[in-house]
Amino acid sequence: MIGATHRTQRVPGSRLRAALIGTATVAVLVAAWEAAVRIGNLPPFVLPRPSQVVATAVEQAPLLGPHVATTATEAVLGLAMGTMLGWLLAVLTSAFPTSGQISHPVVLLSQTIPTVVLAPLMILWAGYGLTPKVTLVALTVFFPVLVAATAAIRDVDAEYSDTVAGLGGGKAHQMWLVRLPASVPGALAGLRIAATYAVGAAVVSEYLAGESGIGVFIQRSRKAYAVDQIFVGIALIAILSALMVAAIVALRRVATPWQTNLVST
Amino acid sequence: MIGATHRTQRVPGSRLRAALIGTATVAVLVAAWEAAVRIGNLPPFVLPRPSQVVATAVEQAPLLGPHVATTATEAVLGLAMGTMLGWLLAVLTSAFPTSGQISHPVVLLSQTIPTVVLAPLMILWAGYGLTPKVTLVALTVFFPVLVAATAAIRDVDAEYSDTVAGLGGGKAHQMWLVRLPASVPGALAGLRIAATYAVGAAVVSEYLAGESGIGVFIQRSRKAYAVDQIFVGIALIAILSALMVAAIVALRRVATPWQTNLVST
Amino acid sequence: MTTTANSTGRAPEAGRSEPVLSVGDLTITFPASRGGRGGSQDGGLNVLDALSLDVHDGEFVAVLGPSGCGKSTLLRALGGLLDPRAQVEGTIAVPSDASGRRATAWMPQRDGLLPWRRAMANAMVGAIAAGVPRDRAYPRAQQLFEEFGLAGFERAWPHELSGGMRQRLALLRTCLAERPVLLLDEPFGGLDPVTRRRMNAWLATVHLTEQAAAADAVARDASTTGSGVVLVTHDIDEAMTLADRIVVLSDRPGRLLYEARARQGGEERYDRGSLLSALDC
Amino acid sequence: MTTTANSTGRAPEAGRSEPVLSVGDLTITFPASRGGRGGSQDGGLNVLDALSLDVHDGEFVAVLGPSGCGKSTLLRALGGLLDPRAQVEGTIAVPSDASGRRATAWMPQRDGLLPWRRAMANAMVGAIAAGVPRDRAYPRAQQLFEEFGLAGFERAWPHELSGGMRQRLALLRTCLAERPVLLLDEPFGGLDPVTRRRMNAWLATVHLTEQAAAADAVARDASTTGSGVVLVTHDIDEAMTLADRIVVLSDRPGRLLYEARARQGGEERYDRGSLLSALDC
Amino acid sequence: SSTDTDTKDEAALDSATNAAQPLTPVTVVLDWTPNTNHSGLYLALANGWYEDAGLDVTVIEPGETSGLQLLAAGQADFAFSVAEGLLPARAAGADVVSVATVIEHNTSSLLSLADEGITRPRDLEGKNYGSYGSDLETAIISSLVECDGGDPAKVDHVPLVSDDFRIGLTQDQFDTAWVFDAWDTLRLSEVDGMDVNTIAFRDWFDCIPDWYTPLLATSGAEIESSPETVGAFVQVTAHGYAAAMEDPTVAADALIAAAPELDAALVTASADWLADKYATSPQAWGQQDGATWDRFSQWLTDNDMLDGDPSVDGAWTNEFLPAKQ
Ligand SMILES: Nc1ncnc2c1ncn2[C@@H]1O[C@H](COP(=O)(O)OP(=O)(O)OP(=O)(O)O)[C@@H](O)[C@H]1O
Ligand SMILES: Nc1ncnc2c1ncn2[C@@H]1O[C@H](COP(=O)(O)OP(=O)(O)OP(=O)(O)O)[C@@H](O)[C@H]1O
Ligand SMILES: [Mg+2]
Ligand SMILES: [Mg+2]
């Protein structure tokens, strides 16, 4: 016999819990890294200790601000542009399959051409400024959004489009009332992937032709064989990426209020 | 008055149509490229003409076989490993949110650390052979699969888990009967993204320490100023990627037989 | 066996005028499902068999028949919503409005509420899809929420509504489309007897008047015909109370088994006995 | 107002033995939905109000009540499937089996068929979830497909079934779980009268015997109590035919409005008049 | 080339007789994709001279990974590297040692199109320098321009987008860039027939230091544990470069056979050009000069590019070369 006397039960503060566990995991990882370097006696040239990296970061702090600002700007702009593009294309191609069949090879190409090849052409076309970098980030970002949103639209129950069509709704109505909202969770999943890549893509684009940015900082550090500075750069990438992802997760709560089962990840 | 006299109507051969449109698009693109170079009078080292690239490809054909084989092996193995990993992790973390909260930072890190930094560590650990390359591909691939499958599991109607729980099913049953199958379309969307990246990731991993592979071919061609060869390499990447994506699309038909609305993309 | 009884005042005699909606010799077959349906159904499932049915201006037709005989399939065919894989033979003619769209509003058996819209927003889907201006539809929706016992739930998500509330909301949505022809698939299935009779009465009186007006409005634009209702139900009393004509389909494949017109004037609109015996076949 | 009539042979007198399943002073409130439900419901929606209900060994209880009064919520509470945000006060006691799990099998109002499983595989979900061995469940499922008029549809996908077929499949799945206590939420809602009576009869005779056996089997392992059925329905005749006890809930928030036991022996098992008047309140 | 076949046959015979003795595995990491800087290595490989000396050599193309890191981590036995990498690595605690210089003097230069009229460092004033972004470049360019009487502040540093200098130079992305004469300059001038100017660093060693680039490095640990292997490898490699200096065509063929993706015309031209640049004589290949190391190290320190003490004396040795000084 399963028995229970209830007094108002509530969901536990799972968001706080998640943050705590996440922080603890990072702390354990960093400690493990420190221990591994000390025990394995690796030369700092191969893998510096986190304590060294922190020391370097503190020392270099005044330098880092502008670099971080540049990269963050590129990443955010690229993410916004790429998301719009990917989502619109997803909705468009789901409504007009032929447009999908036409754009498909172009999209695939845009994802398979290595950046090193694309970059010179991009510079030819857009110069050295922010544009080519934002474009490269957008190019990285739009694809996961496109694919995940397309899948979400496709997987939406035919019941819903039928309902709208059965009330006299045309293609545009089905798009606006069913496809677009149905694509939101998928687009957000794509965006979650894209947000993780955005900062990295911005950094790579800075390798190609940058004067400022975390990518430039890392590249200079590499040329100067300053391995600890490279790791400062990596830590910055990780932190920026984590912030982007956190923003997307928060966005999901706002953008899909009908979903109550919003647990973790 | 809308009237119609029906005699057995059937869905048109939309798959053939899609293939034709896709081929036509590629043909138009290549023609546009050829025209652009001729009209713009671009020097061949900025952008070679496709006809030149084809000529070079024919000439280099005997060389290419082993390179392609190496890259394809890395890509396929990495894709298989990464997909398994991502999918398992998605199912696991959805069942045990704490495991997700723990793995989350690690996963994020694995995606934000640039390959150039990871590579020496990877070689330290796995040597020069196939292992580090397959690992790098798997690392690229597992993330979109993880995120998209997680989203699909999360978005599955609570109705279904409730039905199973209401019949006495425990966590394992909900996992097996609901979460796992519900994650399939999402995992496939992630896989579709991953398949596009897999060949590219293999190529980049070859930049790090390779003796054979399309990446080695491109890298050598770049350093030797052989621009047309670079484009042969890119074409090979695009073709391999397209084959991978086609395989995934075919897989989707088999893996989700309950979905009838399988249009395009 | 086709029985024809007297018609009410509103519904014209069969054949007297052009029908609003007409189905001729309709046969629908579903192909074997992917991987095979297995058993006797392999090689296709014949659902409707040479079914003919006319709905005249202002007529309210109730369709009864055993579960799985093809009632929902018929309604989908009328609404233009048939699975594209279905093989269709015969003729279907439905009225269209000025812009050339079907003049029908379909209510699915499983409510079809959109999970991402709150209750009021779901109701407005009917108006939006049918192009009814918001400033006319919204006040009407508010009033119907009251009448349908849904007041206070305007901002609830569909999953926060009970089964019967969902169904009432789906009907509300369908009515807001203001289409001349209604195709209702068991709209009152999940309701308790009291609510059901209340909703029945509402449909019979208030709505039919408005619907005829809608048909007139449409007719003024285009040169199309009038209004009509096709109601699928399992409730004999409901059918007898509401319908000008009752049609009973046979077991799958659905054929026309019985047809009766409501008697004018008299107490008993239909001969209950023959109806029941048709249903028991 | 609580009326108690005579009990049948199977159902023991109230209070004579420990109840199989017991609800005490149950009050359930849903919090305001995200972004507010708006209107009068802001600040929480009280659905059940101090409801007490015992089900004794072998008893078949039918629950009636207006749409939206909390019947499905009650069944979810009994099945342990309440929305975790719901605020619950009072006591709920349900039997458990040897492995400590609830001994209940719940059938949702909206069938809950899994879209990615064919009909037979969906039926087997009941057996799998409840741990019934496949070699016992599968032949039984085949037989029930036949009895439920679903033969030939074993390999159909849920979206290829009609509404009534889906519901029959959902009931079939629930029965395959072989749990001592059944929680059925309008299992016969989408069925035509003929099929409905046939399914009623099946549930009354065949199943109840088997279910008691299942309860015995469970009881032999653990020291738990017997079997029972809680059926939510809108069909008064169905309730009167099937149930040993009928419970009528009030409008939301659902309170116990009327309770009656079936009379033993006599022709009329219940006093139809008082039942109807309770429902009309 | 019948001599080529003969030596190959000899090698085959030798390895057959030595079959009982297992070969010592040796891993060499390149500093780039295969090119004429590696001619000696590939020639020795093609002729089987390493096997003759009991070595089983594996060549790794590192791409972006630094060979020095792999040396320090014990994942490689030898690495092609550069002095400006080796010294900071030592300063950071990596025990890596240069055992030979591949080319006696730095063959870097600043490349520009002839139209630009850049013939000496001060001509860079008002021009765009295409930069990899390293501190070393900034310091070298500044020293050169200043030493030649120009104002380094007037040189604009713009990022290099592509390592195909033809694009950057002709598409006005930059006016000049740092290249290696033996490869990039030859490509543009000899193979593509472009009209280019260079400012060779070796003409300005009064203003800037000379340094060893590329060089062949190993780790202190390797020298400690298996000096014979180091000796054998360096000697065979030296033999390879000596042969490459004597017959550039054979060296070019060996390289093309190993990396057929390379442009044969470029490889041949480069091999010819380098034949007398590797060293003053084939016998002297690999010799390093303490003074060059000291001056470069000091220069790095003076320009804030060396953080710590590289202990220059331990950074290099000629000990394993055939002709000891
Ligand atoms: N998309 C489909 N593909 C294949 N078979 C289908 C499809 N839709 C319906 N069917 C089959 O057609 C038959 C008739 O279904 P339909 O939904 O029209 O029945 P119905 O008369 O509405 O029954 P109910 O009263 O149970 O709702 C059923 O046997 C069903 O399995
Ligand atoms: N998850 C939920 N969140 C908020 N409100 C809910 C939720 N589930 C149900 N409700 C509300 O609780 C009330 C009772 O719902 P319930 O489904 O129990 O009704 P019911 O008696 O089964 O009605 P019906 O006969 O129409 O199925 C309804 O007003 C409904 O809006
Ligand atoms: Mg139906
Ligand atoms: Mg209910």
Ligand 4 midpoint to CA D109 (Å): 6
D149 touches chain C (CB under 8 A): yes
Segment holding E28, helix H or strand E: strand E24-29
CA distances from B173 to B178, D242, D243, E205 (A): 8, 32, 32, 77
Percent of chain D predicted with pLDDT > 70: 85
CA E114 to chain centre: 27
**Number of structural domains, chain A?**
1
What is the CATH number for B58?
1.10.3720.10
Minimum Cα–Cα distance from B204: chain E residue = E63
Identify the CA nearest to A94 among candidates A180, A188, A14, A17: A180
Ligand 2 midpoint to CA D89 (Å): 17
Ligand 4 midpoint to CA B237 (Å): 56
- Six-digit token string for D48: 């059940």
Contact residues, chain B to chain C, C-beta under 8 Å: 1-11, 158, 257, 260
Mapping DSSP onto H, E and C, the string for D188-208 reads CCCCCHHHHHHHHHHHHHHHH
Ligand 3 midpoint to CA C70 (Å): 7
pLDDT of residue D189: 86
Minimum Cα–Cα distance from B256: chain C residue = C34
For ligand 1, atom 18: residue with the closest CA: C70
Best of D34, D40, D47 to mutate for ligand 2, by most ligand atoms within 8 A of CB? D47
Q: Does the pLDDT of residue D33 top 80, yes or no?
A: no
Closest Cβ–Cβ partner in E89, E161, E305 for A123: E161
The reply to whether residue C163 touches residue D153, judged by beta carbons under 8 angstroms, is no
A-contacting residues in E 61-80 (Cβ below 8 Å): 66, 68-69, 72-73
Minimum Cα–Cα distance from B141: chain A residue = A193
pLDDT of residue D220: 62
Using 50, 70 and 90 to split pLDDT, how confident is the model at C200?
Answer: very high
Check pocket membership of C76 for ligand 1, CB cut-off 6 A: no
> Using CB atoms, which chains have 3+ pairs under 8 A with A?
B, C, D, E
Kindly give the number of the ligand 1 atom that is closest to the alpha carbon of C73.
18
Q: Chains B and C: how many Cβ contacts under 8 Å?
A: 44
Closest Cβ–Cβ partner in A105, A111, A114 for B29: A105
Ligand 1 midpoint to CA C32 (Å): 13
| Residue B19 counted as domain residue | no
The reply to whether residue C112 touches residue A184, judged by beta carbons under 8 angstroms, is no
**What's the CA gap between A125 and A121, in Å, rounded?**
6
Contact in structure between E137 and E131 (CB atoms under 8 Å): yes
C110 touches chain B (CB under 8 A): no
Check pocket membership of C73 for ligand 1, CB cut-off 6 A: yes
Within chain D, residue ranges assigned H as helices are 71-79, 119-130, 134-147, 163-176, 193-202, 208-221, 236-242, 272-280
Minimum Cα–Cα distance from C64: chain D residue = D192
Give whichever of A109-113, A231-235, C262-266, D68-72 has the largest mean pLDDT.
D68-72
Q: Is the C-alpha dihedral spanning A96, A99, A104, A109 positive or negative?
A: negative
Closest Cβ–Cβ partner in A2, A6, A9 for D90: A6
pLDDT of residue A210: 73
Strands E24-29 and E108-113: unpaired
Is residue E5 packed enough to be buried (19+ CB in 10 Å), middle (13-18) or exposed (0-12)? Answer: exposed
Using 50, 70 and 90 to split pLDDT, how confident is the model at B182?
Answer: confident
| Residue A75 counted as domain residue | yes
pLDDT in tens, D251-272: 989 999 999 998 876 677 888 8
**What's the CA gap between E316 and C56, in Å, rounded?**
104
**What's the CA gap between A132 and A116, in Å, rounded?**
13
Using 50, 70 and 90 to split pLDDT, how confident is the model at B108?
Answer: confident
Q: According to CATH, where is 3.40.50.300 located in chain D?
A: 3-103+182-280
pLDDT of residue E278: 95
Left, alpha or beta for A51 (phi > 0: left; psi -120 to 50: alpha)?
Answer: alpha
Identify the CA nearest to B82 among candidates B198, B234, B168: B198
Task: Give buried/exposed letters for A176-206 (b at 16+ CB in 10 A, else e).
Answer: ebbbbbbbbbbbbbbbbbbbbbbbbbbbbbb
Tell me which CATH code domain C3-103+182-280 carries.
3.40.50.300
**Least confident piece of the model among C257-271, D137-151, E14-28, E110-124:** E14-28
For ligand 2, atom 27: residue with the closest CA: C163
Ligand 3 midpoint to CA C78 (Å): 14
pLDDT in tens, D100-123: 888 999 999 999 999 999 999 999
Q: Which ligand is nearest to the CA of D76?
A: 2
Using 50, 70 and 90 to split pLDDT, how confident is the model at C196?
Answer: very high
Contact in structure between E190 and E269 (CB atoms under 8 Å): yes
pLDDT in tens, C165-185: 999 999 999 999 988 899 999
Name which residue leads in pLDDT, D156 or D33. D156
Q: What is the DSSP letter of E322?
A: S
Residues of D with Cβ-Cβ distance to B159 under 8 angstroms? 108, 110, 112
Question: Residue C94's beta-bridge partner residues?
Answer: B2
Contact in structure between C37 and D155 (CB atoms under 8 Å): yes
Using 50, 70 and 90 to split pLDDT, how confident is the model at C227?
Answer: confident
Q: Does the pLDDT of residue A245 top 60, yes or no?
A: yes
Q: Could you give phi then psi for residue A256, rounded to 5 degrees?
A: -130, 65
Ligand 4 midpoint to CA C110 (Å): 14
D25 touches chain A (CB under 8 A): no
The reply to whether residue D125 touches residue B164, judged by beta carbons under 8 angstroms, is yes
What is the helix, strand, coil percentage profile of chain A, to 5? 80, 0, 20
Minimum Cα–Cα distance from D160: chain C residue = C33
Query: pTM of whole model > 0.95?
Result: no
Q: Chains A and B: how many Cβ contacts under 8 Å?
A: 197
| Residue A136 counted as domain residue | yes
Closest Cβ–Cβ partner in C109, C154, C168 for D39: C154
Contact in structure between D120 and D145 (CB atoms under 8 Å): yes
Is residue A163 packed enough to be buried (19+ CB in 10 Å), middle (13-18) or exposed (0-12)? Answer: buried
pLDDT of residue D8: 38
Using 50, 70 and 90 to split pLDDT, how confident is the model at E211?
Answer: very high
Ligand 3 midpoint to CA D104 (Å): 29
Distance from CA of D137 to the nearest CA of B (A): 14
pLDDT in tens, A39-52: 877 777 778 889 98
> Which amino acid is located at D216 in the chain?
D
| Residue A203 counted as domain residue | yes
pLDDT in tens, B210-231: 778 998 898 888 888 888 898 8
Distance from CA of C85 to the nearest CA of B (A): 6
For an interface test with E, the pick among A122, A223, A227, A231 (most E C-beta atoms closer than 10 Å) comes out as: A223
Instruction: Report yes or no on chains E and C touching (3+ CB pairs under 8 A).
Output: no
Residues of A with Cβ-Cβ distance to C179 under 8 angstroms? 167-168
Contact in structure between D20 and D275 (CB atoms under 8 Å): no
Closest Cβ–Cβ partner in A150, A196, A265 for B112: A196
Ligand 3 midpoint to CA D116 (Å): 21
Using 50, 70 and 90 to split pLDDT, how confident is the model at B263?
Answer: very low
C279 touches chain D (CB under 8 A): yes
| Residue A232 counted as domain residue | yes
Residues of D with Cβ-Cβ distance to A8 under 8 angstroms? 87-89
Q: Chains B and E: how many Cβ contacts under 8 Å?
A: 91
Kindly give the number of the ligand 2 atom that is closest to the alpha carbon of D249.
21
Distance from CA of D40 to the nearest CA of C (A): 5
Q: Across all residues in chain A, what is the average pLDDT?
A: 84
pLDDT of residue E218: 96
For ligand 1, atom 22: residue with the closest CA: C72
Q: Is C51 helix (H, G, I), strand (E, B) or coil?
A: strand
Residues of E with Cβ-Cβ distance to B125 under 8 angstroms? none
Its domain, for residue A131, covers: 49-255
Residues of C with Cβ-Cβ distance to A256 under 8 angstroms? 116
For ligand 1, atom 10: residue with the closest CA: D160
E-contacting residues in B 181-240 (Cβ below 8 Å): 206-211, 215-217, 219-227, 229
C250 touches chain A (CB under 8 A): no
In Å, the largest CA–CA distance within chain B is 76
pLDDT of residue E4: 45
- Six-digit token string for E160: 């290099």
**What's the CA gap between E317 and D3, in Å, rounded?**
108
**Least confident piece of the model among A89-98, A256-265, B185-194, C114-123:** A256-265
